[in-house]
C-alpha cells in the first residue's frame, strides 16, 4: 500500500456524496426516524455542531475506505461496491443493530440507521470505483 495511491479529490467527493446521501435519507425518513429515535432535532441546541461532526466523521470514513482500497493492485467499480457491502455487513450493520437493540430501541431505528450507512458506503464505493 502506498499513500500516494490515495486520491484526495476522491476522498473529498466521497465525503460530499455521503453528506448528500444523509440529507436525502433523513429528510425522506425524518418523521419515522424522529419517532423511532425519540429525538427532536429542532430542539437540539447542538445540531449545527453535530452536523459538522457528521461531516468530519464522513471524511474519516472516506479516508479509511480509500486506504483500504489502496491495498488492491487495481480497483474496479465492482471491487469498490463489494468492499462497501462487506464493510457495512461486517462492521456497520452489526454494530448499529446490536447497540440500538441493547439501548432498548425497536427495530425501526436500527434499520433506518443501518440502511443509511449502507447507502453511504455504496455512494463512497461508487466514487472510489470511478476514479
| DSSP annotation of 41 | G
The alpha-carbon radius of gyration of the chain (Å, integer) is 16
- What phi and psi, each to the nearest 5 degrees, are found at residue 127? -65, -50
At 99, list the grid cell.
Answer: 447497540
pLDDT for the residue numbered 5: 72
Q: What is the pLDDT along the chain (131 residues), one digit of tens a residue?
A: 566 678 999 999 999 999 999 999 999 999 999 999 987 666 666 777 889 999 999 999 999 999 999 998 889 999 999 999 999 999 999 999 999 999 999 999 999 999 999 999 999 999 999 98
Tell me what pLDDT residue 48 has. Answer: 78
pLDDT at residue number 39: 79
Amino acid at each position: 500500500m502506498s499513500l500516494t495511491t490515495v486520491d484526495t479529490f476522491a476522498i473529498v467527493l466521497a465525503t460530499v456524496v455521503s453528506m448528500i446521501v444523509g440529507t436525502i435519507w433523513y429528510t425522506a425518513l425524518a418523521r419515522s426516524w424522529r419517532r423511532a429515535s425519540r429525538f427532536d432535532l429542532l430542539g437540539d441546541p447542538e445540531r449545527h455542531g453535530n452536523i459538522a461532526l457528521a461531516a468530519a466523521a464522513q471524511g474519516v470514513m472516506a479516508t479509511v475506505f480509500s486506504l483500504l482500497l489502496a491495498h488492491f493492485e487495481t480497483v474496479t467499480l465492482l471491487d469498490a461496491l463489494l468492499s462497501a457491502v462487506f464493510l457495512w455487513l461486517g462492521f456497520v450493520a452489526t454494530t448499529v443493530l446490536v447497540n440500538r437493540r441493547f439501548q432498548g430501541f425497536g427495530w425501526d431505528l436500527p434499520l433506518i440507521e443501518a440502511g443509511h450507512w449502507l447507502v453511504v458506503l455504496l455512494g463512497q464505493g461508487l466514487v472510489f470505483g470511478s476514479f
